[in-house]
Amino acid sequence: MTQHLPSSQVAQVEFKSFALSKALIERIDALGYRHPTAVQQASIPIILDGADLQAHAKTGSGKTAAFALPLLHLMENNETTYDAREARCLVLVPTRELAQQVADSFMSYGAGLNGVIKVRAVFGGVSVNEQMQVLGRGVDVLVATPGRLLDLVKQNAVQLSKIQHLVLDEADRMLNLGFQEELAELLDMLPSQKQTLFFSATFPEDVAELSHRLLQAPQVVSVENQV
Ligand code: ADP
Ligand code: MG
């Protein structure tokens, strides 16, 4: 099912209307977010439901919170225990700036969860050793660029066999930057049973093809011409 959302439907919805924990709602309020954006309004219930999702909405439309909020909620309510190096949520991004930005957003939105969910960012261009040490102290949400993540996996700094949620953020830029092979190698390491979320500003043929390959019976959210 595809949801196309005109802006007229957006303003009235409240974050409170989603099945998000009180701590998350309070945090959103403290950050001054009054109403969910269109992509958040459509995506949050789908993700909370555990479905796969393909979402496209332009830059600045609030895609990070659209996936971070429901994923934090799902992780907060999952009682499974994990070893220190076993990540449960993997967010793949094309650049180090974006890795840091998305990790900061997860930390900010999850600030009321008392540090129970550890968020780590790994990317190239900085020392591997430091990232290995940080991962050794535990990781729940791992935000990563593909190349550095492959290095770290090969050195056993982190394990991907328990990943329950996979996000491809800025999938279009990831393909434009030539990450196809590294992506394929990483995706092969993940469990086949997981929730996969695909976020992109544009939806050219190669992105559609990758999305089709990765997602199982996905819900589709497409937000046009507005934030
Ligand atoms: P995108 O990934 O779609 O480019 P971001 O997730 O980076 O967008 O969000 C863009 C900006 O909008 C950020 O500064 C973020 O804090 C802000 N933002 C996100 N959701 C809301 C909201 N519901 N209300 C107000 N500001 C928001
Ligand atoms: Mg974004």
Rounded CA-CA distance 125/105 in Å is 21
Residue 151: pLDDT band with limits 50, 70, 90: very high
What digits encode the pLDDT tens for the residues 92-114? 999 999 999 999 999 999 999 97
- Three-state SS at 115: coil
Q: Take atom 16 of ligand 1 and give the residue whose Cα is closest.
A: 62
| Predicted local confidence at residue 81, as pLDDT | 85
Residue 108 Cα, ligand 2 centroid: separation in angstroms?
15
Q: Is residue 37 part of a domain?
A: yes
Q: Is residue 10 part of a domain?
A: yes
Q: Above 50 in pLDDT, residue 158?
A: yes
Rounded CA-CA distance 5/40 in Å is 11
What digits encode the pLDDT tens for the residues 42-85? 999 999 999 999 999 999 999 999 999 999 999 999 878 889 99
Report the mean per-residue pLDDT for the chain. 93
145 CB within 6 A, ligand 1: no
Residue 23: pLDDT band with limits 50, 70, 90: very high
Residue 8: pLDDT band with limits 50, 70, 90: very low
Q: Average pLDDT for residues 137-149, to the nearest whole number?
A: 97
59 CB within 6 A, ligand 1: yes
Q: Is residue 121 part of a domain?
A: yes
User: Residues with Cβ < 8 Å from 88, sequence gap 6 or more?
Assistant: 75, 78, 80, 82, 140, 141, 162, 163, 164, 165
Q: Could you say which DSSP state residue 9 is in?
A: G
Q: Take atom 19 of ligand 1 and give the residue whose Cα is closest.
A: 62
Q: Take atom 2 of ligand 1 and give the residue whose Cα is closest.
A: 63
Ligand 1 site-directed mutation target among 18, 20, 37, 67, most atoms within 8 Å of CB: 37
Closest ligand, as measured to the CA of 15: 1
State the CATH number of the domain containing residue 126. 3.40.50.300
CA 73 to centroid of chain Cα atoms: 13
* Counted domains in the chain: 1
Residue 156 Cα, ligand 1 centroid: separation in angstroms?
34
Q: Is residue 227 part of a domain?
A: no
37 CB within 6 A, ligand 1: yes
Q: Is residue 47 part of a domain?
A: yes
Domain of 161 in residue numbering reads as 2-222
Q: Strand locations in the chain, DSSP E? A: 2-4, 53-56, 89-92, 119-122, 141-144, 165-168, 195-200, 219-222
| Predicted local confidence at residue 104, as pLDDT | 98
| Predicted local confidence at residue 114, as pLDDT | 77
Q: What ipTM goes with this model?
A: 0.99
Residue 98 Cα, ligand 2 centroid: separation in angstroms?
8
